[in-house]
Structure 1
Amino acid sequence: MREMIEKSKLLIFDLDGTLYEDTDHFDYYCRLLQQRVDVSIQGEFYYAYEEMKQGKHPVAIGKVYDLKEDASLTVDPLTLQVTAAHLWDGTQMNEETLKREYSGELTYDFERFIAIGDGWWLPYVTAMHYGLSQQDTWDCYNATKVYMVSDEFSLTKTPGLKESLERLKKEKHLVLMTNSDKEDVLRLLRELELQDVFHEIFPSSQKPVKTKEILMAITSKYKVKPDEAVSIGDNFINEIAPALLMRLNAVYIQPNGYDLQHDNLYIVPTLGQAF
């Protein structure tokens, strides 16, 4: 992997879960949402979320949530074909419904098919199942972002990361591509002391819907071939699968490992280990 990074000319980083790995803010987000459901089901609400985090629920990071069917879908990330579907209670969807609803390539749209690529989406999906509105989730998400830049919250800096990125910046183009909006990105980078590290920032990227489009724009702008670029992130659906499909290299940050072999893919437990 070190050789691959050293030979590259362009490194494209995710932000949340990549440049920092704290997860307390996901729990905070869920607690805010929990307070908006009827008190009689608040315990059930948070219990479902905890089950998801522990891998004991059909909904999990790496799955896709179908809002219409209230189902958790297993999707091949490179072919985008649905291979299995389970209802909220764990029951497997019947074959007839599976074939009718998911006959072709799945398209993520943030409306019906929600790609659960990282910890932000677990509280969101829980909220959708228990009947909260999109406005509820947006309000609580914004409140969580405010909390993340308050004195009550602090980010854990990855030891040596700043120095490694500053060294790489002298030889390569460093780009940040994130779904967070510009204001949040700049605040988080200041907190991490990484505000001057990147040559360019692409906020509000709408990954995974627009990942390929933006990756194409970035590689074209910096005039690099696919094998000279590396996509680095903790979200396989958002950052890794689209990069591999475009023949870019990819570094997937996943502490629990991942069962996929690919010539252009490296899996590491932390970003610090990647450098």
Structure 2
Amino acid sequence: MEHMFKTGELFVFDLDGTLYEGTDHFDYYANRLLIDVPEENKQAFLADYEKMKAGDHPVKIGKAYDVKQDAILTLDPITLSVVKVQNWGGDVWPDEKREELYHEKLKFDFDNMIAIGDGWWLPFAAAKHHGVGNCYPRYVETKEYMVTEAFKLEPIPGVSEGLAKLKENKKIVLVTNSDIDDVGRLLKELNLDGIFEHIVTSAKKPSKTDEIFEKLVEQYEVKPEQVVSVGDNFINEIAPALQKGMKAIYIDPLKPEFKHDNLLIVSSLGDCF
């Protein structure tokens, strides 16, 4: 860890799930989506979501979900190529069918090809499978709820002080899919207002991650190996960084046994400080 902080010059942080923790907002999102699930599917939606959270469902963080095919895709962690496809019930597609449909690099979006990189996408996938057409209004409602008195953010001990110290000698930027209003409110709540010298909002990760990394490397005049990407979403922030020769800090409380020379896995950002 010390070596990464010593050799890194530009640190690129994610926001949701990285600078704050907790899962209550995901459950709130699921309950809002439940309103739009057809009556006959509501119980199945809830059952599937609970299974996902327990890790007992084919839909898991780190996979992808093809909405049109209603298919769950297992990806190679670095190349993100599709190595296995399952239907909703967990049955595996024949290799021939998988290779026919998924022989090219996936193009992720927020409608049809979903990178299940964090807890936001579990209720989304369940809702899509069970007949919800548009999930975005309920996502907006959840974001609005997160800046009310009813919702309590969980600042991570040591992170505010740690980032301030890191900023003394390094460049630190924030790249998030959240929009500018959400980001401003969340950073104030986390006592991180003004800590980042550059913020990219509505980043459209992972589809725009490569492009954003390239712009940051050029803007800050650093080499890829001097950049450290920090986040809890392997598909959005970690795999693209490793592909470019950058370093990465992956936040996962389960600390998966995955090794890469340029990768550090921690259970919380607080571990870094």
Normalising to structure 2: TM-score of the pair?
A: 0.97
Equivalent residue letter for 2:153:
L
Equivalent residue letter for 1:94:
P
Alignment correspondent of 1:24? 24
Q: Is the 8 A contact 2:38 2:131 kept in 1?
A: no
1: distance between equivalents of 2:13 and 2:173? 6
- 1:167-182 matched pairs, under 5 angstroms: 167-182=165-180
2: distance between equivalents of 1:105 and 1:39? 37
- 1:216-235 matched pairs, under 5 angstroms: 216-235=214-233
Alignment correspondent of 1:153? 151
Structure 2: segments with no counterpart, 5+ residues = none
Alignment correspondent of 1:188? 186
Equivalent residue letter for 1:123:
P
41-50 or 196-205, larger mean C-alpha shift: 41-50
Corresponding residue to 1:164 among 162, 165, 178: 162
Q: Is the 8 A contact 2:37 2:130 kept in 1?
A: yes
Q: What per-residue deviation string (whole Å, max 9, x for no partner) do you get for residues 76-98 of structure 1? A: 13223211011001111123321
Deviation at 1:105, TM superposition (A): 2.3
Deviation at 1:104, TM superposition (A): 2.5
Secondary structure in structure 1 of the residue aligned to 2:199: strand
Secondary structure in structure 2 of the residue aligned to 1:163: helix
Alignment correspondent of 1:265? 263
2: distance between equivalents of 1:218 and 1:149? 29
Alignment correspondent of 2:127? 127
Secondary structure in structure 2 of the residue aligned to 1:124: helix
2: distance between equivalents of 1:65 and 1:157? 31
Secondary structure in structure 1 of the residue aligned to 2:103: coil
Instruction: Please say if 1:73 is aligned against 2:73.
Output: yes
Normalising to structure 1: TM-score of the pair?
A: 0.96
1: distance between equivalents of 2:82 and 2:260? 20
Instruction: Please say if 1:93 is aligned against 2:93.
Output: yes
Equivalent residue letter for 2:99:
K
Deviation at 1:107, TM superposition (A): 2.3
Instruction: Please say if 1:208 is aligned against 2:206.
Output: yes
Alignment correspondent of 1:116? 116
Equivalent residue letter for 2:192:
L
Secondary structure in structure 2 of the residue aligned to 1:250: strand
2: distance between equivalents of 1:107 and 1:5? 32
1: distance between equivalents of 2:67 and 2:7? 43
* Percent identity (aligned): 49
1: distance between equivalents of 2:86 and 2:238? 24
- 1:49-64 matched pairs, under 5 angstroms: 49-64=49-64
Secondary structure in structure 2 of the residue aligned to 1:73: strand
Structure 1: segments with no counterpart, 5+ residues = none
2: distance between equivalents of 1:125 and 1:48? 10
1: distance between equivalents of 2:268 and 2:212? 25
Deviation at 1:260, TM superposition (A): 2.2
2: distance between equivalents of 1:212 and 1:260? 22
252-261 or 65-74, larger mean C-alpha shift: 252-261
Question: RMSD of the TM alignment (CA)?
Answer: 1.1
Equivalent residue letter for 2:240:
P
Deviation at 1:219, TM superposition (A): 1.4
Alignment correspondent of 1:13? 13
